[in-house]
A and B are shown apart, each in its own frame.
Chain A
Amino acid sequence: MTEIFGVPTQALFGQLLIGLINGAFYAMLSLGLAVIFGLLNIINFTHGAQYMVGAFCAWFLLEKWGVGYWWALLLSPLVLGLTGVVIERTMLSRLYKLDHLYGLLLTFGLALIFQGVFTNYYGSSGQPYRLPEEFAGAFNLGFMYLPKYRAWVIVASLLVCLSTWFVIERTKLGSYLRAATENPAVVQAFGINVPRMITLTYGFGVALAAFAGVMAAPIYQVNPQMGANLIIVVFAVVVIGGMGSILGAILTGFGLGIVEGLTKVFYPEASNTVIFVIMVIVLLIKPAGLFGKER
């Protein structure tokens, strides 16, 4: 068996793959947070819970109505996005004139409600989600086996992240969005409906979280706590990357996933905390984050 730095290559690539998968979820979730923060100036604490509900939505569709993975990938973000629109219209929109911290507190409360309701019915045990048949099996890459579904997760998340980046940075709609981030009053004066844009942006961010949830369902088990711990790590990812840049959020997400995977190989005791340690180092060296702008 071949070894690199005294570690069997099989184990190394295995953990790298897990790291890359985790990184895909960090990237999708921190991207959603960054998009929402850009326009609403609110850190969406409910993001983890919405990711969890998105996964549950897929599970419901399959278990109760026999609706498969592909439809879930479309329907779950749609449903969650709609609830996001309702949340924004009825609650968040009342807070824009206040300190941003109230947004954090409100979304924290919503996260507790979602998580409490699902824990109440499903406890803390996981519900398995059957892998769609077309993903059975693995590719043989010569040096390792790559399960088809994991390859799909990496490709799909890259696709979603890059198209989000493209829409925001390279299209007309995106230019409105960026302009409204800079100065909503002026954009409004040009006849663009900024409040509606804000509502749709929140809906889109939530839909992104739900999409990630559906993607996660076959890999991790669907359980009410799946979002709670993840969202704290994603917060650290956001602090490390800084929320100034979309591409930065994507890169930081994947990068930190890989770093975490490597830590599992070389120093497993620290794998839970390595991202937080990196956050401390970044705060010491570049407080605004790797891609952030100093205010």
Chain B
Amino acid sequence: MAIATPAEAQPGDRGIMLATVVLAVALAIAPQVGIYPVFLMKALCFALFACAFNLLIGFGGLLSFGHAMFLGTAGYVCAHAAKEWGWPPEAAILGGTLAAGLLGIIVGLLAIRRQGIYFAMITLALAQMVFFFFLQAPFTHGEDGIQSVPRGKLFGVLDLSNTLVMYYVVLAIFLASFLAIYRIVRSPFGQVLKAIRENEQRAISLGYDAEKYKLIAFILSATLAGLAGATKAIVFQLASLTDVHWTMSGEVVLMTLLGGMGTFFGPVVGAFTIIGLENYLSGFGQWVTVITGAIFVVCVLAFRRGIVGELAAWWQRRRG
């Protein structure tokens, strides 16, 4: 019944830690060996966004089809605070993240009243409402977005206008959030969440308040998605309608599905693959949409465990 259960086929804590260290080292030296740091920062922001989304679908079994609203809201709040109110970057990012968390409380309270397909439709509809709000609100400057947001100095010391400094800050934010998600999933809270995903009735009969657990997971996911959005606004010095549009909600679903729902590294792999693909195909216009759709179809029909999920299953089989 549950949407994805490759979590069981995963390496233990040691394996994950080892892989995280390898990933961190690889990302730390990546710009030194000639990989374009702006591309890496974009991919990292989306990787964090996808990891936040995965917390909800992969470990809580809740498909949100409106996660762009958290990415976009945090981006707008952060950009506005940094540009119009002159907040330093750490405060602006924090402000944007908290705004997304607040929105997460409201949306979560409404959406968890229904389950399954309805949950997806409700989050999509609420995200569309948020989209129209930002389209009409004067402070977002409509189609133009909030442009040339100052990057400023982090804690008054680190000059973020230097691309490499910015990159390592983004990397630090990503790694900290990744480890936080890992901790959340492996905590007793995460175990109860998984139990609810597998069999909600049984979890309730064991005395767990399923609604409360789902709500907390939703708020955590929204907040982390907000952190991704706020960071992205500082990196690209821009907050625009693209980030609140439903296509963005679809994109994060795709990244997570392609990489592997319910795996720790799946969303990261998915985000890097999709962002790389979009970079590579940027000259092909609307065919990108077609290819995106085709990847969706192929993943659902033949490849439901995603890249990391399939690799983990293959590894499991090989070891017997």
Stretch at the interface among A91-99, A133-141, A200-208: A91-99
Does B110 contact A120, Cβ atoms closer than 8 Å?
Answer: no
Does A113 contact B129, Cβ atoms closer than 8 Å?
Answer: no
B129, B292, B296, B297: which contacts A277 (Cβ < 8 A)?
A: B129
B125, B250, B253: which contacts A279 (Cβ < 8 A)?
A: B125
Known: A106-B297, A283-B122. A120 touches B286 (CB 8 A): yes
Q: How far is it, in angstroms, between the C-alpha of A277 and the C-alpha of B106 when the chains are bound?
A: 13
Known: A109-B297, A239-B114, A283-B110. A116 touches B121 (CB 8 A): no
> Which residue of A is nearest B127, CB measured?
A232
The residues in B between 274 and 320 inclusive whose CB is less than 8 angstroms from any CB of A are 285-297, 299-301, 304
| Residue with the greatest number of chain A CB neighbours at <10 A, chosen from B118, B285, B296 | B118
Complex contacts, B110 vs chain A, CB 8 Å: 280, 283-284
Q: How far is it, in angstroms, between the C-alpha of A56 and the C-alpha of B190 when the chains are bound?
A: 48
Does A117 contact B290, Cβ atoms closer than 8 Å?
Answer: yes
B113 part of interface (Cβ distance < 8 Å): yes
The residues in A between 56 and 74 inclusive whose CB is less than 8 angstroms from any CB of B are none
Known: A112-B290, A119-B289, A276-B129. A105 touches B121 (CB 8 A): no
Complex contacts, A106 vs chain B, CB 8 Å: 296-297, 300-301
Complex contacts, A151 vs chain B, CB 8 Å: none
Chain B contact residues: helix, strand, loop or mixed: helix
Does B132 contact A105, Cβ atoms closer than 8 Å?
Answer: no
A102, A228, A276, A284: which contacts B125 (Cβ < 8 A)?
A: A276
Does B116 contact A112, Cβ atoms closer than 8 Å?
Answer: no
B118, B299, B304: which contacts A239 (Cβ < 8 A)?
A: B118
Known: A100-B116, A119-B289. A273 touches B129 (CB 8 A): yes
Chain A contact residues: helix, strand, loop or mixed: helix
Does A109 contact B293, Cβ atoms closer than 8 Å?
Answer: yes
Q: How far is it, in angstroms, between the C-alpha of A220 and the C-alpha of B118 when the chains are bound?
A: 29
Complex contacts, A108 vs chain B, CB 8 Å: 250, 253, 293, 296
A47 CB, nearest partner CB in chain B, Å: 12
Known: A101-B63, A110-B293, A120-B286. A279 touches B257 (CB 8 A): no
Complex contacts, A238 vs chain B, CB 8 Å: 121
> Which residue of A is nearest B115, CB measured?
A295
A104 part of interface (Cβ distance < 8 Å): yes
Return the CB mask of A261-276 against B: 1 if under 8 Å, else 0: 0000000010011001
A230 CB, nearest partner CB in chain B, Å: 11
A53 CB, nearest partner CB in chain B, Å: 14
Does B301 contact A279, Cβ atoms closer than 8 Å?
Answer: no
Q: How far is it, in angstroms, between the C-alpha of A239 and the C-alpha of B118 when the chains are bound?
A: 7
Known: A104-B63, A272-B132, A276-B125. A95 touches B117 (CB 8 A): no
Complex contacts, A276 vs chain B, CB 8 Å: 125-126, 128-129, 132
Complex contacts, B135 vs chain A, CB 8 Å: 272
B133 part of interface (Cβ distance < 8 Å): yes
Q: How far is it, in angstroms, between the C-alpha of A113 and the C-alpha of B287 when the chains are bound?
A: 9
> Which residue of A is nearest B304, CB measured?
A102
The residues in A between 100 and 132 inclusive whose CB is less than 8 angstroms from any CB of B are 100-102, 104-106, 108-117, 119-120
A-B interface, 4 closest residue pairs, ranked by CB to CB distance from nearest: A109-B296, A112-B293, A116-B289, A116-B290
Interface set of B (CB-CB < 8 Å, partner A): 1-3, 63, 65, 110, 113-114, 116-118, 120-122, 124-126, 128-129, 132-133, 135-136, 246, 250, 253, 257, 285-297, 299-301, 304
Subset of 28 A-B contacts with CB under 8 Å: A99-B1, A99-B2, A100-B117, A101-B116, A101-B117, A102-B3, A104-B63, A105-B296, A108-B250, A108-B296, A109-B294, A109-B295, A110-B293, A110-B296, A112-B250, A113-B290, A116-B292, A116-B293, A120-B287, A233-B125, A235-B124, A235-B125, A276-B128, A276-B132, A277-B129, A279-B126, A283-B114, A284-B113
Interface set of A (CB-CB < 8 Å, partner B): 37, 43, 91, 94-95, 98-102, 104-106, 108-117, 119-120, 228-229, 232-233, 235-236, 238-239, 269, 272-273, 276-277, 279-280, 283-284, 287-288
